[in-house]
Amino acid sequence: MSTADIVGKGSAPKLEEDELRGGIAGLWDRAWLNLRTGNLGPVPIIVGEIAVVIIFAFTATNFFTAVNFVNLITESAGTAMLAFGVVFVLLLGEIDLSIGYVAGIGALVVAELQLPGSGHQLNGILAMLIAVAACAGIGFIQGGIVAWVGVPSFVVTLGGFLIWQGVILNTLEQRGTIIIQDRWINYTDLYIFSPLGGWLIAIVFTALYPISVLYKWVVARGTQIAPQNWGLVAAKAIGIGGAAFGTVAIANHGKVINSPLGLPLAGVIVVFFFVVLTFLAKWTTFGRHVYAVGGNAEAARRAGINVPRIKILVFMISGATAGIGGVMFASQVNSVALTFPPGNLLLNAIASAVIGGVSLFGGRGEVRGALLGALLIGTLQNGLNTLNISNGWIYIVTGLVLLFAVTLDTFARRLQARSGR
Amino acid sequence: MSSLLEIRNLSKSFGSVHALSGVDFEVRAGEVMALVGDNGAGKSTLVKCIAGTHSPDGGEVLFEGSPVHISSPKDAAKLGIEVVYQDLALCDNLDVVQNMYLGREANRFQILNEATMEHHTSETLKSLAVTTIRSVRQTVATLSGGQRQSVAVARAVMWNSKLVILDEPTAALGVAQTEQVLELVRRLGQQGLGVILISHNLHDVFETADRITVLRLGRDVGVFERKSTTQQAVVEAITAGVPTKVAGIPA
């Protein structure tokens, strides 16, 4: 073997990873290298989000306000929760079309279990746990049919889509809208932290990334592993901290009539699951196996990985996150009605993950993609709503953004393939 | 030399197709045993039975003298049997370290220990003189054919294995890369491992193997000592060999 066969052929840009300088200069070198080789990461979507915010700030009167910012968080929270589950399912190269109505089942179960005078009224927190567990159970059944029987996930979850829709229709046509009065359930989307509470949460969240880097550094001491690029670490830490503190600052700034606003619990729940699920995907053997099965299921099986177990667990995650999202949507309107799930929930959740760079063919993508994608779609739809634009146009714009994002990603992949990355 | 792996009277059918009928096979520690035969002779099926991917319908498997049941790749790995398949079974989306530890990641309470894995991967590649891989953190998709083969072989060797099975390791390689992989195969034998080398290429076989087992139409039709046979004799066995015993009745 000679090094000649790893260096790219033809006129593809050559890699110069070894020649990167240290410190701040190294950052620019790395950015330039990544741009040329199409290794863009989350940068395009962050740029897109900023551009969308700027456009709406100048065109819509009620968009660039603290109140609308808090609304945006509570509106996008449920979609982001569903999108987290979609990331795991897509990483396997599977699809889950049932999540919209599984979210509806979660909302229905929680509404039924908190109903005063029904004879089975439960504490709100217990009701939510049971609802999420029920949705994970649905995921277990659907995942089991996919993994053990071998029916394609598209078909299984399409069946689930119809079945759970039917269950919701049957129940609510008879019962009408179920009002949710339980304090704890309604808090999940609508609770607002005090300004101090918001700042404390921002501090904890900001600290997580430096702690994880420090942990890796301590573990790697004494081995010959290439050190971190400290400039890059600092830049990421500043970016994450800036986003966290900026969010809390804007939220705390808002006022509705005379009561002050603050960081909504919905946003904190989403960020909590973002951290937990990122940890699961990137730091645990389970997460590694999910990527392996998505990359080459046969190789994973031969390596001794229990592929059906991984698939079933992933569909359970998808069901559970849909359940949590469903509870949040119910909390947002304090009720469950026939109009549930709201809008294009399923398609918005899948679009969020795909816009966030998760491949439909498995093995490639990050949990953070779902968060960024949901935020972009949420901002777009919120902004167009404040401009009083019709639903039809909102769908059209969302579709165009999805197309654009995936096209850009495809070009970036081609560039990466040419540069041998 | 005592036998490391001994197979007696192994049978395996897929529906009405008898992929293997009454096959005997033996590998000793420290030898390279070539397994040759035409397409459909049952080489891959035999290997998959040893590796735990298929479970045999009948017959006996002895490993280090004691009878064993290998019902999954994990069982095989526990015994110290490692397979490098022709398609290498690598995940293109994962990097070299992640592939080397696929399915048995170093972890504490299920939390990955990346530093340990990266360290040992670098050391293993170094000990096998695999020096062309620029970074163990690049994805396997970016490696050349020879590099991918090296990663797959290194993965098999890293686990203190006793028996390494190589399925057509040189099929997709150029001349220089083939020579390097054959050198690696010989080195494995010299280190005391049992090696099963599956190959179509008799030139490769005669360069590396100590003994040669020939399969034909799901039966074993001969075992040859490399030093006392010719390519001519082996080719005859591959194309027209007749079993020396009747299936189902031990010789």
**Statement to judge: residues A325 and A401 lie in one domain:** yes
Gap from B79 CA to chain A (nearest CA, Å) = 14
Do B112 and A302 make contact, defined as CB atoms within 8 angstroms? Answer: no
Instruction: Give me the residue from B83, B92, B135 closest to A296, CB to CB.
Output: B92
Report pLDDT for A24.
64
Do A304 and B73 make contact, defined as CB atoms within 8 angstroms? Answer: yes
List C-alpha distances in Å: A399 to A73, A360, A361: 21, 17, 20
Q: What is the CA radius of gyration of chain A?
A: 23
Residue B247 has pLDDT above 70, yes or no: no
- CA dist A61 and A387 (Å) reads 8
- How many residues appear in chain B? 251
Do A225 and B94 make contact, defined as CB atoms within 8 angstroms? Answer: no
Instruction: Give me the residue from A2, A6, A296 closest to B134, CB to CB.
Output: A6
Cβ within 8 Å of B, A 18-77: none
Residue at A214 is within a domain: yes
Domain range for A335: 41-191+265-418
Taking contacts as CB-CB distances below 8 angstroms, the residues of chain B near A421 are 138-139, 142
- Can you read off the two tokens belonging to residue A352? 């969020």
Residue B230 has pLDDT above 80, yes or no: yes
A17 shares contact with chain B (CB less than 8 Å): yes
Say which CATH number the domain at A334 has: 1.10.3470
Do B91 and A283 make contact, defined as CB atoms within 8 angstroms? Answer: no
B240 shares contact with chain A (CB less than 8 Å): no
- CA dist B19 and B74 (Å) reads 24
Do B144 and A283 make contact, defined as CB atoms within 8 angstroms? Answer: no
Mean pLDDT of B63-70: 92
**Among A214, A241, A263, where does a domain finish?**
A263
- Cβ atoms B100, B84 nearer than 8 A: no
The listed range with the strongest mean pLDDT (A31-45, A366-380, B37-51) is: A366-380
Q: Which residues neighbour B205 within 8 Å (Cβ) at sequence distance 6 or greater?
A: B34, B36, B197, B199, B212, B226, B234
Residue A10 has pLDDT above 50, yes or no: no
Report pLDDT for B195.
93
**Statement to judge: residues A66 and A165 lie in one domain:** yes
Taking contacts as CB-CB distances below 8 angstroms, the residues of chain A near B179 are none
**Statement to judge: residues A170 and A113 lie in one domain:** yes
- Nearest chain B Cα to A299, which residue? B89
**Statement to judge: residues A246 and A198 lie in one domain:** yes
**Statement to judge: residues A113 and A179 lie in one domain:** yes
Q: How far is CA B27 from the centre of its chain?
A: 11
Counted domains in chain A: 2
List C-alpha distances in Å: A137 to A75, A88, A203, A317, A341: 26, 17, 36, 10, 19
Do A303 and B147 make contact, defined as CB atoms within 8 angstroms? Answer: no
Mean pLDDT of A85-90: 98
Do B144 and A288 make contact, defined as CB atoms within 8 angstroms? Answer: no
Do A296 and B144 make contact, defined as CB atoms within 8 angstroms? Answer: no
Report pLDDT for B39.
87
Report pLDDT for A5.
36
B111 shares contact with chain A (CB less than 8 Å): yes
**Among A248, A263, A278, where does a domain finish?**
A263
Q: What is the pLDDT of residues A348-406, one digit of tens each?
A: 999 999 999 998 889 999 999 999 999 999 999 999 988 988 889 988 998 999 899 88
Size of interface A-B (CB pairs under 8 A): 116
Tell me the three state secondary structure of residue B218.
Answer: coil
**Statement to judge: residues A295 and A404 lie in one domain:** yes
* Residue A109 pLDDT grade (very low, low, confident, very high; cuts 50, 70, 90): very high
Q: Does the model's ipTM exceed the 0.90 cut?
A: no
B110 shares contact with chain A (CB less than 8 Å): yes
Mean pLDDT of A184-191: 89
B74 shares contact with chain A (CB less than 8 Å): yes
Gap from B229 CA to chain A (nearest CA, Å) = 32
Report the candidate in A96, A77, A74 with the shortest Cα–Cα distance to residue A87.
Answer: A96
**Statement to judge: residues A245 and A305 lie in one domain:** no
Alpha-carbon torsion, ordered A115, A118, A120, A121, to 10 deg: 30
- CA dist A307 and A299 (Å) reads 10
- Cβ atoms B162, B80 nearer than 8 A: yes
Taking contacts as CB-CB distances below 8 angstroms, the residues of chain A near B89 are 296, 298-299, 302-303
- Can you read off the two tokens belonging to residue B203? 């030139």
Residue type, A194: S
Alpha-carbon torsion, ordered B105, B111, B116, B120, to 10 deg: 10
Neighbours of A160 (CB within 10 A): 25
Do A1 and B146 make contact, defined as CB atoms within 8 angstroms? Answer: yes
- CA dist A156 and A44 (Å) reads 34
**Statement to judge: residues A177 and A321 lie in one domain:** yes
Neighbours of A19 (CB within 10 A): 9
Upper half-sphere CA count for residue A216 (Cβ side, 13 Å) = 18
DSSP for residue B170 = T
**Statement to judge: residues A370 and A222 lie in one domain:** no
Letter string b/e over residues B214-249, b meaning 16 or more CB atoms within 10 A of that residue's CB? bbbbbbbbbbbebeebeeeebeebbeebebeeeeee
What angle separates helix A367-386 from helix A265-283, to the nearest 10 degrees?
150
CATH T-level assignment (fold) for domain B1-80+161-251? Rossmann fold (3.40.50)
Percent of chain B with pLDDT over 70: 96
Tell me the whole-structure pTM to 2 decimals. Answer: 0.86
A292 shares contact with chain B (CB less than 8 Å): yes
Gap from B219 CA to chain A (nearest CA, Å) = 26
**Among A241, A263, A285, where does a domain finish?**
A263
Q: What is the pLDDT of residues B85-135, one digit of tens each?
A: 888 889 999 999 999 999 889 998 999 988 889 999 988 888 777 777 888
Q: What is the pLDDT of residues B175-227, one digit of tens each?
A: 877 888 888 888 888 888 899 999 888 999 999 999 999 999 989 888 999 99
Please give the mean pLDDT across all residues of chain B.
Answer: 87
Gap from A28 CA to chain B (nearest CA, Å) = 21
Range(s) of chain B covered by CATH 3.40.50.300: 1-80+161-251
**Statement to judge: residues A247 and A130 lie in one domain:** no
Report pLDDT for A323.
97
Q: What is the pLDDT of residues A112-161, one digit of tens each?
A: 999 888 888 889 999 999 999 999 999 999 999 999 999 999 999 999 99
- Can you read off the two tokens belonging to residue A385? 């709503």
Instruction: Give me the residue from B77, B107, B147 closest to A304, CB to CB.
Output: B77
Residue at A15 is within a domain: no
Please give the mean pLDDT across all residues of chain A.
Answer: 88
* Residue A303 pLDDT grade (very low, low, confident, very high; cuts 50, 70, 90): confident
- Can you read off the two tokens belonging to residue A237? 């830490």
